[in-house]
Amino acid sequence: MATHPGSPTGWPATTLESVRWVGDVDAIPRRHRGDYSGGYQANIVPPIASANAHLSAGSRAALDEATAHIARFDADMSNEIAPLASILLRSESASSSRIEHLTASARAIAAAELGDTSQRNAAEIIANSTMMTAAIRLADRLDAESIIEMHRQLMEPMRPDIVGHWRTQPVWIGGSRHGPHTADFVPPKHERVPAAIDDLIAHLARDDVSVLEQAAIAHAQFETIHPFPDGNGRTGRAIVHSILRAKGLTRNVTVPVSAGLLQDVDQYFAALTRYRAGDPSPVVECFADASFAAAHHGRAIAADLSEVRARWQDALKVRSHAAAHRALDVVSEQPVVDVAYISQALGISDRRAADAIDALVSIDALRQIGSGQRNRRWQAPEILAPSTSSPNESPAGSRRWRDLDFAGTLDGVLANIDNDESFGRVSVDEVSGTISWPCGLDLDPDVLHGGHPTASGGAPTVLKEHWLQASR
């Protein structure tokens, strides 16, 4: 195998090339046109098929520890596959989406799995879950076609125009929508994408690289190539699970690596930047730490699930063969249900399904959502709580709520709620704490941070601070 002496680690860095820019000058304010005229600098992604990373002893030790932890976790969970696998997959999908600032409450995500399309973010997270499933299904053939298929599963519901092929236009990260000239990073021009992907696939065919190292480097290389107009981050993290499954490190469950990455998203993005400069150690260490945290987090979820199920079983005072006992398995996997879902899942009549739900309500395993009598749905709060959590979050049950005065902090955010009647139609998700209005505005305490905009338009940092104070 060849080494690349261009960097201290023996890993090739990206280089730059000048690219002619063809943009719509008329769409740019006149005072900014000078910033987006002329050519721009795009990165050239070096080949890595035969490259060897010279990692430090500390990095190797971190890889070995994380690898052993993942293998033990996967083996230990082999007898708890059914409900746990669903929860871990949901957690990974939600976490990967959250890295892209795409969030939804746990209940909204579970409702979207029932076919509720009213919450766009939740629908996109479910599409991400579908892609994760496809990534595992396609693990036996890691090639360009399987990557395109993963991306199709993710983006076809929202952007059918960009699926089925690599991008055919420039993309850039950061900067302005007007052009790539002020971007933080400009991936290679689209003509270079197919060859870069072929080289990545050749790297994945190697069997002389440790699995977790290979997954981390493949992810970083994929993000550097950025082969699609949208959905690259989520697709790249799904590829990690394909690799873990293809190489035999995981066989039973999805290890929520993205949930581990959420411990320090800034570190994750900084590691990708270092990778492009010719240093793969930070991204390898980042994935090792995330994998270790993810396996630990998965064990905590499994323990919580086991405790909840045991308590439900003890409290359920019906015949052991009654449908309510089997319904416990259903709500453990799908924590938002209606009569039709239970009926179909168990192959029983609607009447028996309704009786099973009533039995679960009686032991507080299920609670009705809202107070209406038509199109009723029920949620399992104790299953919802961990299903979208990450290692750096406390269980939802530990949150303590108090009245907060947001006066003066929400200027402009509540502009769509212009009277007392519309404001009064607010609801609070008891699991996630998300405050929602029918107009589509929502305030999620998990994502109101650092001035990052929410899906509905943004909120100041002070909101996160208020919520943190209230939750201590």
Cα dist from 223 to 4, 45, 135, 384, 427, whole Å: 21, 11, 16, 31, 38
C-beta neighbour count of 328 within 10 angstroms: 21
Q: Kindly give the residue spans of alpha helices, DSSP state H, lying in 193-322.
A: 193-204, 211-225, 232-246, 257-261, 265-276, 281-315
Q: What is the pLDDT of residue 362?
A: 94
Question: For 50-54, 341-345, 400-404, which range has the lowest pLDDT when averaged over its residues?
Answer: 400-404
Q: How confident is the model at residue 433 (pLDDT cuts 50, 70, 90)?
A: low
- What is the pLDDT confidence band of residue 213, given thresholds at 50, 70 and 90? very high
DSSP H/E element including 442:
strand 442-443
Mean pLDDT of the region 430-440: 62
Q: Which amino acid is at 375?
A: N
Query: Rounded CA gap, 344 and 288, in Å?
Result: 41
Identify which of 96, 427, 38, 396 has the alpha carbon closest to the alpha carbon of residue 257.
96
For 375-400, what is each residue's pLDDT tens digit? 889 989 888 876 655 665 544 433 33
Q: What is the per-residue pLDDT across 258-304, written as a single tens digit (0 to 9) for each?
A: 989 988 999 999 999 999 999 999 999 999 999 999 998 888 888 88
* Contact partners, residue 372, CB within 8 Å, separation at least 6: none
pLDDT of residue 402: 39
Q: How far apart are CA 190 and CA 171, in angstroms?
A: 9
Span 303-336, pLDDT tens digits: 888 899 899 999 998 776 689 999 998 998 888 8
Phi, psi of 19 (to 5 degrees): -130, 135
Average predicted confidence (pLDDT) for the chain:
82
Q: Which amino acid is at 129?
A: S
The secondary structure of residue 189, as a DSSP letter, is P
Give the pLDDT of residue 22. 77
Closest CA to 467 of 409, 402, 393, 416: 402
Virtual torsion, Cα 450, 451, 453, 458, nearest 10 deg = 130
In angstroms, how far is CA 81 from the centroid of its own chain? 21
Residue range 11-23, pLDDT digits in tens: 999 999 999 887 7
pTM: 0.79
What single-letter DSSP state applies at residue 421? H
3-class SS of residue 252: coil
| Nearest partner of 55 among 266, 188, 216, 167, judged by Cα | 216
pLDDT in tens, 160-178: 999 999 999 999 999 888 8
HEC-encoded secondary structure of 286-350: HHHHHHHHHHHHHHHHHHHHHHHHHHHHHHCCCCCCCHHHHHHHHHHHCCEECHHHHHHHHCCCH
| pLDDT band with cut points at 50, 70 and 90 for residue 370 | confident
SS (H, E, C) 34-49: HHHCCCEEEEECCCCC
What fold characterizes domain 15-80+132-286?
Fic-like fold (1.10.3290)
Q: What is the mean pLDDT of residues 331-356?
A: 93
Q: How far apart are CA 101 and CA 387, in angstroms?
A: 18
Band of pLDDT at residue 471, cut at 50, 70 and 90: very low
Has residue 71 got a pLDDT over 90? yes
Distances (CA, A) of 276 to 12, 44, 224, 273, 418: 8, 10, 7, 5, 48
Q: Where are the domains of the chain?
A: 15-80+132-286, 399-472
